[in-house]
A and B are shown apart, each in its own frame.
Chain A
């Protein structure tokens, strides 16, 4: 089931029942169980047998292993013991997944919680039981802090490795062919879209890296297995974010039993966000989609103005679709007592590219700031013979923006899109560094400042919009063709 109106209605109704009727002490377990079930329910069907059951299970168990690896260890205390509460969580997990497999015996129209007919429950249990034992054993392995850091780095590398395979067309195709061979299916029909569409993996991967990295730097709070799993696969934000932070998420979980379920403002604000989000995503964005730039309609345009209309259409469709989705996710989160972070703050009305990136997909740009830009520039700043700070920021920006680009898919066009924004950010930094004193004086002239602001908004918006050409077109040739047509040549 995809994130459609039916599902939003189910989540919203669930939110009302949860807020108004459910006993307070059940709230945390409810979020946990709903999130586990949603990982399976939201997964699109896949053509390799049982793959749409296996991938959600892998998401869950990778998270369990990450949790084990991030348990706090001190030098004087080598062994950690898993607490009873966490063993209980593992038991509930086994029961839930085996229970899901039991729906195999229901008539197919009742198998609503899984993408296709689940595997046999006994097979599922026999696969999961050794895994659960392994988790408990791994938890007891003696490991000191320096070794834990190595283990955490290895896990980060594995996640990045899987990410690269899934996001690189050729590698994903080869992997899908290999999987087909292993399962006795025709390898020539391999197609990553129908074989390996792993729901939410991009977002899950970034949350997992955040957790692993924060343990390395000592920032990660102590988290129970149940709360870690709920954070990583929290159902409103599983599909496409926002990417919350675990210490913030945990504060909300702690406050859940005390939350006033009948607080009208929370319910009204949450429901309003959902309605606004539905309007933005399903009315505005879907209407704009009729004339938004695509690889197909780009070839049919015969004059520059038409190309600009398509491009504006795409820019607004993208914004309304994604920010509408974020509104729905935040609204549903609120009904369940979790205040997910904002992802957009009027990005197309910003007067500089730096402000744009502080207001577009905010939780992703924060993530890359914390885990790429900041550590990379800090490392370079610690060098004995370090380059000038302008060069360091330049390198940091290129690395960061290229990674944001490649996160969407490893291709040359996304690489150029990242480079385009890195260049914009770098030029803006150079400019604002050199004009800061002048600007602080200029700010006092109200009338001229307003004009200056509007000019900034116009330039920033068009810089972003022209950049979208690289985002939407599948290859360099077609992107260059669109760009030349925008300039009125090449028809």
Chain B
């Protein structure tokens, strides 16, 4: 799976399932949590989605607002461990 596919899958999942606003034009550098579009409780859901969709396990201490606030950060974290 290439980076572009991963990015679009994540964007679609975050807007539809976590933000519950599928039409929202989410930018790559936009603060999803700091911008008030989803809360940090949803990071666990995001982590389980990443496990199922890309087979990448993100350890719990990495599920922080500082590390997972923008689409770019999340994509980079997934790409780091993708096989």
Contacts and interface: CB of A to CB of B under 8 A. Distances in A.
Interface string B40-54: 011111011001000
Interface of A is mostly: helix
B25 interface: no
Interface string A191-235: 000000000000000000000001001110000000000000000
Contacts of A439: 36
A482 interface: no
A175 interface: no
Interface in B54-68: 57, 59-64
A436 B61 contact: no
Contact of B59 (A218, A437, A443): A218
B50 to A, nearest CB: 11
B42 to A, nearest CB: 8
A26 B52 CA distance: 48
A456 B66 CA distance: 24
Contacts, number: 53
A378 B41 contact: no
Contacts of B61: 214, 219, 245, 370
Given A432-B39, A440-B36, A219 B59 contact: yes
A436 B41 contact: no
Contacts of A432: 39
Given A214-B61, A217-B60, A370-B60, A436 B48 contact: no
Contacts of A104: none
A214 B59 contact: yes
Given A218-B59, A219-B61, A381-B48, A374 B39 contact: no
Nearest to B64: A366
Nearest 7 A/B pairs, CB to CB: A374-B60, A377-B44, A381-B48, A219-B59, A370-B61, A217-B59, A370-B60
Interface of A: 214, 217-219, 245, 354, 366, 369-371, 373-375, 377-378, 381-382, 389, 393, 396, 429, 432-433, 436-437, 439-440, 443
Interface of B: 21, 36-37, 39, 41-45, 47-48, 51, 57, 59-64
